[in-house]
A and B are shown apart, each in its own frame.
Chain A
């Protein structure tokens, strides 16, 4: 076959280049630009090198927010993944209850973030909220606006309520894709329910669980709206997660340089953890 060189084909790439430039490259470069400069207003900027990065890496405030962020994400993953798998396992595989369960499961996913935050804010209020009042009536001293422990509890419960469904739906899809022959073979081999889970279901779910884990990691690590509406980072700074702190620095204090440096570090952490996890999970797939 004769290949002809036609450089005009490059023209077709232009729309994509423009699109990517405007929605990713240019905004990101703006942030990079801010992160290496200092300004005293008047729209004049001075080169500051890695100063902001150095400052951020040594900042106790950043360390604390990062620690809270890892704690939150860790708790969320620890609860949502096993809970989601457990719910998916106990859902029916056929019959009229399948659509009922699926719709019920999908409902929390359809609610906008700020509405979820507002819902839980009111639901958990100790004086008028159903949950808050109920807990107090049962003798628990519960007040998420004053006690850090209660604030954390509410924050995590809210996320579990909102996002476990995602894990359930992904796992359920993975479960129904397992051919019947595997279960039949296991029956014949005399496998216990635990052995079936451990050696058939779990290995077959590995791919969907990898995706579920990645999605939940990224989303929970970048959570903003729900947490801001629920606790606003309080009481004090006890539930100030990374994104909340970032917005405070960027828009509250208008420290664009440190905020830009912080977002880049933030971004790299998400990227690094996701990459590490994905590489480990897929390393033995030929």
Chain B
């Protein structure tokens, strides 16, 4: 068990990275507390798996340090770091029984037979694998195999952290939520640090206490699921998390107010905006915080989509489209509709970043 610290971590698969695009992982400074559940969330190719392999020691970073409990492990081999990893596609030792699969990491470390027996049995029970202990691992279904992969990590008592690399990719949809809640339950039981990599926001938000959102090799925001939802630091986070994603509308600043197509929009952070010349200014507001009102931004209703308890209404103000989320009981005004924004949750973004954020004036990532 250990606290994991990543210091100025960067990685490139090229020997001499020069351009920005040469870096698979641009810069990362994170502290992960012992026993926490963390998720790395981002679209495919954003550097998540690279980061995971750096932590597990399958890759050595080009730059920066990795510390486990203040001990530098940057150049240690995977088995010296005491970590476990569950891969995207189930890895089991086909010719062995489930029992031998689970016992394998212990046997490789020369643990005595009695200890192996009791550890394997207790882990098998935790994972509901007791009935299959004596069958061959090759015959199990994908979710059973993923449980074995996980079990091979759990049997070792000295494991610092368990990493998951999109572990539910090959699992049938109806078993996904089962395995997901099993993971959550296990985390509460064993209290090991778990790091979960995924491009699926539901998986990340339900699993983790803290989520690291990544894009193009860079960390965009680190926060609790609630923080990510309520206060996205970047329009990318707004888009990527939430369904439907955040509305992002171009705006101007005139006499201390954000205006869109000549209409004033009250925002929470307009005072933080630095009037940099040529900066891209946008207003971001989640569909949940937009509602129909008698006054406000005049809009036309374009399309209504039924999403069960909610309805997603697409509206447009001149050429700018946005989405409104309303209860199924609420009615949609026919003509001359107006929408109002919840000021507290309506923010100005400068060059993609939340106005007032350190990177907002310079542009930085994505600008």
| Chain A residues with a Cβ under 8 A of chain B | 179, 181-182, 184-185, 187-192, 195, 199-200, 203-204, 284, 286
Quick one: which of A181, A182, A185, A189 has the most chain B CB within 10 A? A189
Contact with A along B50-85 (1 / 0, CB 8 A): 000100101000000000000000000111000111
Q: A199-B95, A286-B139 are in contact. Are A184 and B108 (CB under 8 A)?
A: no
A275 to B83, CA, bound (A): 46
Q: How far is the CB of B197 from chain A (nearest CB, A)?
A: 13
Q: A185-B149, A203-B94, A286-B139 are in contact. Are A179 and B89 (CB under 8 A)?
A: yes
Q: A184-B85, A185-B85, A191-B108 are in contact. Are A199 and B152 (CB under 8 A)?
A: no
B32 interface residue per 8 A CB criterion: no
Q: Which residues of B contact A187 (CB under 8 A)?
A: 58, 77-79
Q: Are the C-beta atoms of B108 and A188 separated by less than 8 Å?
A: no
Among residues of A, the one whose C-beta sits closest to the C-beta of B80 is: A190
Q: Are the C-beta atoms of A203 and B87 separated by less than 8 Å?
A: no
Q: Which residues of B contact A286 (CB under 8 A)?
A: 139
Q: Are the C-beta atoms of B95 and A189 separated by less than 8 Å?
A: no
Q: A192-B108, A195-B108, A199-B95 are in contact. Are A185 and B87 (CB under 8 A)?
A: yes
Pick the residue among A179, A182, A188, A204 that contacts B78 (CB under 8 A). A188
Q: Are the C-beta atoms of A188 and B56 separated by less than 8 Å?
A: yes
Q: How far is the CB of A54 from chain B (nearest CB, A)?
A: 46
Q: How far is the CB of B119 from chain A (nearest CB, A)?
A: 14
Q: How far is the CB of A230 from chain B (nearest CB, A)?
A: 41
Q: Are the C-beta atoms of B91 and A191 separated by less than 8 Å?
A: no
Q: Are the C-beta atoms of A203 and B95 separated by less than 8 Å?
A: yes
Pick the residue among A184, A195, A200 that contacts B58 (CB under 8 A). A184
Q: How far is the CB of B75 from chain A (nearest CB, A)?
A: 15
Q: A200-B93, A286-B139 are in contact. Are A188 and B79 (CB under 8 A)?
A: yes
Contact with A along B105-117 (1 / 0, CB 8 A): 1001100000000
- Sample of 15 more A-B contacts, CB < 8 Å, known A188-B85, A286-B139: A181-B87, A181-B88, A181-B89, A184-B85, A184-B87, A185-B87, A187-B58, A188-B56, A188-B83, A190-B108, A191-B108, A192-B108, A199-B95, A203-B95, A284-B136
Q: Are the C-beta atoms of A199 and B105 separated by less than 8 Å?
A: no
Q: How far is the CB of B156 from chain A (nearest CB, A)?
A: 9
B365 interface residue per 8 A CB criterion: no
A188 to B57, CA, bound (A): 9
Pick the residue among B88, B96, B109, B139 that contacts A190 (CB under 8 A). B109
User: Which are the 7 A-B pairs with shortest beta-carbon distances?
Assistant: A190-B79, A190-B108, A185-B91, A189-B105, A181-B87, A203-B95, A199-B93
Return 23 A-B CB contacts under 8 Å, by A number. Answer: A179-B89, A179-B91, A181-B89, A184-B53, A184-B56, A184-B58, A184-B87, A185-B91, A187-B77, A187-B78, A187-B79, A188-B79, A188-B84, A188-B85, A189-B79, A189-B105, A192-B108, A195-B104, A199-B93, A199-B95, A199-B96, A200-B93, A286-B139
Q: Which residues of B contact A184 (CB under 8 A)?
A: 53, 56, 58, 78, 85, 87, 91
A199 to B138, CA, bound (A): 12
Contact with A along B178-193 (1 / 0, CB 8 A): 0000000000000000
Q: Which residues of A contact B91 (CB under 8 A)?
A: 179, 181-182, 184-185
Q: How far is the CB of A178 from chain B (nearest CB, A)?
A: 11
A195 to B77, CA, bound (A): 17
Q: Are the C-beta atoms of B104 and A191 separated by less than 8 Å?
A: yes
A195 to B105, CA, bound (A): 11
Q: Which residues of A contact B93 (CB under 8 A)?
A: 199-200, 203
Q: Which residues of A contact B94 (CB under 8 A)?
A: 203-204
A224 to B105, CA, bound (A): 50
Q: Which residues of A contact B152 (CB under 8 A)?
A: 185, 189
Q: How far is the CB of B147 from chain A (nearest CB, A)?
A: 14
Q: Which residues of A contact B88 (CB under 8 A)?
A: 181
Q: Which residues of A contact B87 (CB under 8 A)?
A: 181, 184-185
A185 to B164, CA, bound (A): 12
A133 to B88, CA, bound (A): 59
A192 to B78, CA, bound (A): 13
Among residues of B, the one whose C-beta sits closest to the C-beta of A195 is: B108
Q: Which residues of B contact A189 (CB under 8 A)?
A: 79, 104-105, 108, 152
Quick one: which of B87, B136, B149 has the most chain A CB within 10 A? B87
Within 8 A of A (CB), among B201-255: none
Q: Which residues of B contact A191 (CB under 8 A)?
A: 104, 108
Quick one: which of A179, A188, A189, A195 has the most chain B CB within 10 A? A188
A184 to B95, CA, bound (A): 18
Q: How far is the CB of A111 from chain B (nearest CB, A)?
A: 38
Among residues of A, the one whose C-beta sits closest to the C-beta of B107 is: A195
Q: How far is the CB of B111 from chain A (nearest CB, A)?
A: 11
Q: Which residues of B contact A190 (CB under 8 A)?
A: 79, 105, 108-109
Q: Which residues of B contact A182 (CB under 8 A)?
A: 91
Quick one: which of A187, A190, A203 has the most chain B CB within 10 A? A190
Q: How far is the CB of A93 from chain B (nearest CB, A)?
A: 16
Q: How far is the CB of A37 from chain B (nearest CB, A)?
A: 52
Among residues of A, the one whose C-beta sits closest to the C-beta of B93 is: A199
A189 to B58, CA, bound (A): 12
Among residues of A, the one whose C-beta sits closest to the C-beta of B159 is: A188
A182 to B93, CA, bound (A): 9
